């Protein structure tokens, strides 16, 4: 008889959410000139958490001007050793406040507390520690004896890993001597605003980090601002293309981290139980709101039936529900808009002839939810095999030979990540060389480390974040990637 879990909710009393937030410009919170605010909600309950300022053109101008002043007067003149002290301080404050930040992330985003606490926050702190270490050693990074910063960085991030994407962008920018104006996603601004508070607490010179909230239009104004030297964007391929068009012909340096449709390839000699865990982690982690998610499962035909049966068994044990419960595996979908997109694409999957399967899974009455789902009888022409669903939905295909696996894995406009499951090292290396993907995992999936560069090929974007390679994106040098 299976044991039932008792509820194990994390307390939200550690988090103090203000009823409204201004814009963080020049080291303090200011009212938006438009006087307008928008609501941010908890996607698991639809409760309004706070009202957040909508930055207009005058606010974007003020934020870029504050970043420019801080760059000219303070940050670009400071030694790497002194910059490192501030970044280390930020890293330590993130560690000290990690429980509060994890709860806040879960409330605003809908992701399970188990993930924000054990994955997002440790990685956020690690990114700041890692880049603090580089700040006084840039001359040893392979970019020449005295690599120079770029200036003001405009950074626009998505809602799937709000604080982690902030860390990926802010930490290298500061370590390399740039100042920052960052716009978080409209649906998840709260941890970026808590980070503004951390910057104040760390005594970071005013204007080195500016956080402006708003919708896509605010992001557009920011990346198109003429006094910006560098644009870093993570989000959809569609918006990435618009940004690339806007930046073309300017002096701005650009990195784009866009969508994906990764293949997770399981050979018949793979350790099957381990592979099942990797498949689950690959697509159901963070409700599948992951650009590098293993959303296309490629099973070698001889083990397909056995692997599918094990996978379905495993999916029946996943627990969907209250993201603040420490036993929850699948949290809420981030917004009603994203839920509609998942529903539309999964309906298209069925209409095109694929077979949908989900475990029996009670869905809460309020909030935005989607059960873990897989599709069999999928062909490469189906929309669910080609388009990024960005939800807990797996498309299963089969192959017979390694060559067929390579052809199917690379048959996508994207090129962000891939997974290979096999016992043979030689096959792993051969396959990894064939993959048109920026990240290839072997016998694991969705593993991240600040020392390891992350980025894509083709419509998944260009430039790398993390590692020595990621530093090049924030220095006045040729990008090595």
Longest dimension (CA), the chain: 68
Tokens of 392: 């807990």
Residue 235 binds ligand NDP (CB under 6 A): yes
What's the CA gap between 396 and 357, in Å, rounded? Answer: 11
Kindly identify the residues of this chain, within the stretch 307-346, that bind ligand NDP according to CB under 6 A.
338, 341
Nearer to ligand NDP, 108 or 186 (CB): 186
The single residue among 236, 310, 336, 410 that binds ligand NDP, judged by CB under 6 A, is 236
Residue 159 binds ligand NDP (CB under 6 A): yes
Residue 57 binds ligand NDP (CB under 6 A): no
* Residue tagged active-site, from 291, 292, 459, 465: 291
291 is catalytic: yes
Please identify, among the stretches 49-57, 83-91, 179-187, 401-409, the one whose residues bind ligand NDP according to the rule CB under 6 A. 179-187
Q: Minimum distance between the CB of residue 74 and ligand NDP, rounded to whole angstroms? A: 27
The single residue among 44, 125, 185, 190 that binds ligand NDP, judged by CB under 6 A, is 185
- Residue 233: strand, helix, or coil: strand
- Binding mask 352-371 toward ligand NDP (x if CB under 6 A, else -) reads --------------------
Residue 411 binds ligand NDP (CB under 6 A): no
Check: CB of residue 417 under 8 Å from CB of residue 261. Answer: no
Query: For residue 307, how many other CB atoms are within 10 A of its CB?
Result: 23
Q: Minimum distance between the CB of residue 399 and ligand NDP, rounded to whole angstroms? A: 25
35-36-37 Cα angle (round to 5) = 130
Residue 90: exposed, middle, or buried by beta-carbon count in 10 A (0-12, 13-18, 19+)?
buried
Check: CB of residue 439 under 8 Å from CB of residue 417. Answer: yes
86-92-97 Cα angle (round to 5) = 125
Residues in the chain: 481
Residue nearest to ligand NDP (CB): 219
How many chain residues touch ligand NDP (CB under 6 A)?
Answer: 26
Kindly identify the residues of this chain, within the stretch 244-263, that bind ligand NDP according to CB under 6 A.
258-259
The single residue among 284, 390, 414, 421 that binds ligand NDP, judged by CB under 6 A, is 390
* Residue tagged active-site, from 257, 388, 459, 465: 257
Residue 419 binds ligand NDP (CB under 6 A): no
What's the CA gap between 148 and 134, in Å, rounded? Answer: 14
**Which CA distances in Å does 342 have to 56, 216, 242, 263?**
31, 21, 23, 19
Nearer to ligand NDP, 67 or 223 (CB): 223
Please identify, among the stretches 5-13, 21-29, 235-243, 436-444, the one whose residues bind ligand NDP according to the rule CB under 6 A. 235-243
Query: For residue 366, how many other CB atoms are within 10 A of its CB?
Result: 12
The single residue among 154, 156, 190, 263 that binds ligand NDP, judged by CB under 6 A, is 156
Q: Minimum distance between the CB of residue 336 and ligand NDP, rounded to whole angstroms? A: 12
Please identify, among the stretches 10-18, 139-147, 183-191, 312-320, the one whose residues bind ligand NDP according to the rule CB under 6 A. 183-191
The single residue among 42, 116, 234, 287 that binds ligand NDP, judged by CB under 6 A, is 234
Residue 114 binds ligand NDP (CB under 6 A): no
The single residue among 27, 43, 158, 453 that binds ligand NDP, judged by CB under 6 A, is 158
Pairing of strands 373-376, 355-357: antiparallel
Contacts of residue 277, Cβ cutoff 8 Å, sequence gap at least 6: 314
The single residue among 219, 294, 415, 438 that binds ligand NDP, judged by CB under 6 A, is 219
* HSE-up (13 A, CA, CB side) for residue 140: 6
Contacts of residue 2, Cβ cutoff 8 Å, sequence gap at least 6: none
Kindly identify the residues of this chain, within the stretch 270-309, that bind ligand NDP according to CB under 6 A.
291
- Closest listed residue to residue 30, CA positions, set 55, 50, 51: 55
SS3 content of the chain, % helix, strand, coil (to 5): 40, 15, 40
Residue 43 binds ligand NDP (CB under 6 A): no
Tokens of 422: 């096999």
Tokens of 395: 């498309």
Which residues are at the interface with ligand NDP (CB under 6 A)? 156-160, 183, 185-186, 215-216, 219-220, 223, 234-236, 239, 242-243, 258-259, 291, 338, 341, 388, 390
Would you please indicate which residues are annotated as catalytic (active-site) residues?
A: 257, 291
């Amino acid at each position: 008889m299976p044991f039932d879990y008792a509820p194990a909710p994390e307390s939200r009393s550690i988090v103090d959410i203000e009823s409204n937030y201004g814009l963080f410009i020049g080291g303090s919170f200011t009212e938006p000139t438009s006087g307008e605010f928008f609501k941010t909600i908890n996607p698991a309950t639809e409760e309004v958490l706070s009202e957040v300022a909508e930055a207009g053109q005058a606010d974007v101008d003020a934020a870029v001007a504050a970043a420019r002043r801080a760059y000219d007067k303070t940050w670009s003149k400071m030694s790497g050793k002194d910059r490192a002290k501030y970044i280390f301080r930020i890293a330590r404050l993130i560690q000290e406040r990690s429980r509060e930040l994890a709860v806040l992330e879960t409330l605003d985003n809908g992701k399970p507390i188990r993930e924000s606490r054990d994955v997002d926050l440790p990685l956020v702190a690690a990114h700041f520690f890692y880049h603090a270490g580089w700040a006084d050693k840039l001359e040893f990074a392979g970019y020449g004896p005295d690599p120079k910063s770029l200036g003001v960085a405009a950074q626009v991030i998505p809602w799937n890993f709000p604080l982690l994407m902030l860390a990926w962008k802010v930490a290298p920018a500061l370590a390399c001597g740039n100042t920052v104006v960052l716009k978080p996603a409209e649906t998840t601004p709260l941890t970026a605003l808590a980070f503004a508070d951390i910057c104040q607490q760390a005594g970071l010179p005013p204007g080195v980090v500016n956080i402006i909230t708003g919708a896509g239009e605010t992001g557009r104004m920011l990346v198109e601002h003429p006094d910006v030297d560098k644009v870093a964007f993570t989000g959809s391929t569609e918006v990435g293309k618009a940004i690339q068009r806007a930046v073309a012909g300017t002096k701005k340096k650009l990195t784009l981290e866009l969508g994906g449709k990764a293949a997770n390839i399981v050979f018949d000699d793979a350790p099957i139980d381990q592979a099942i865990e990797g498949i689950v982690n690959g697509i159901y982690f963070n409700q599948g709101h992951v650009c590098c998610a293993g959303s296309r499962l490629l099973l070698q035909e001889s083990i397909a039936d056995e692997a599918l049966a094990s996978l379905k068994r495993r999916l029946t044990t996943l627990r969907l529900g209250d993201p603040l419960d420490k036993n929850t595996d699948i949290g809420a979908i981030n917004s009603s808009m994203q839920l509609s997109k998942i529903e539309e694409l999964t309906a298209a999957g069925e209409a095109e002839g694929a077979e949908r399967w989900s475990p029996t899974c009670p869905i809460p009455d309020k909030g935005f939810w989607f059960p873990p789902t897989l599709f069999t009888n999928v062909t490469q022409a189906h929309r669910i095999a080609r388009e990024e669903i960005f939800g807990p939905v797996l498309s299963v295909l089969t192959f017979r030979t390694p060559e067929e696996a390579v052809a199917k894995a690379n048959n996508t406009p994207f090129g962000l990540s891939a997974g290979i499951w096999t016992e043979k090292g030689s096959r792993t290396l051969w396959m990894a060389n064939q993959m048109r993907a920026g990240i290839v995992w072997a016998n694991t999936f969705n593993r991240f480390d600040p020392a390891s560069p992350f980025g894509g090929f083709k419509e998944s974007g260009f430039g790398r974040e993390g590692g020595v390679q990621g530093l090049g994106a924030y220095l006045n040098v040729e990008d090595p990637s």
